[in-house]
Amino acid sequence: MLPLKLLISLKGIETYPLPPYSTIIGLLYTALGRKWDGEEFSISVQGNYEAILRDYIRFRKYNRKIKELEVLPLEVPRLYNLRCVVHVLGRSELIGEFINALQRPKVYLFLGGGEYPVQVKNPRRVYIEEKDVELETTYSAFVPEPKYKLFDQIGVPFRMPSFYEGSDEKVYRWKQVYFMLKNSLVEGRLLVDREGDVVWV
């Protein structure tokens, strides 16, 4: 009797440790019920999660070389109990639109491909000021490259997608950021809101 031989192929995808800027921009315009129309604003993303869970889905993809639909298992990471603090800095009128839309979104809100349903808690305007600080961060954060030098720890570099380039909806502008874990020490001149959260722009 010949032995049984099984060949199994398993592909996986990776995830950012927090939602990237492009995902937050998509969330805001989904809440508004319209597409981005070239408005410019800055975003700060920070937050924490408890664990990364790995799920498996049945993934279908068209293979152009063999001209067939392939079905394969795909490993998908999920951030468990993700909580984010997002600051948006921009024109007052646009910020007002975002707040109203997040309070009464046009559709059910989610991040990514639908795997992260979103509960928005108390969207509001906050006062921020620039001041000299020495603190231990409360949240993990995407830190823009110029602010990274204020840390005494090493972060993980990422090229972060943000706005689209012009009207071509699949070409992103990319920003260099560093992912810094919570409880990192930072000292320097930073923007801080009245609730004590640093604004990473």
Q: Which of 30, 49, 18 is nearest to 158 (CA)?
A: 18
Give per-residue pLDDT as tens, 114-171. Answer: 667 899 999 999 999 999 999 999 999 999 999 999 998 899 999 999 998 876 667 8
| pLDDT value for 144 | 95
pLDDT, tens digit, 9 for 90 and up, residues 63-108: 888 888 888 787 888 889 999 999 999 999 999 999 999 999 888 8
- Angle, helix 21-32 to helix 92-103, in steps of 10 degrees: 70
Domains and CATH numbers, the chain: 11-199 (3.30.70.2660)
In this predicted structure, the answer to whether residue 174 has a pLDDT above a threshold of 90 is yes
pLDDT score of 74: 79
**Residue 81: what pLDDT?**
92
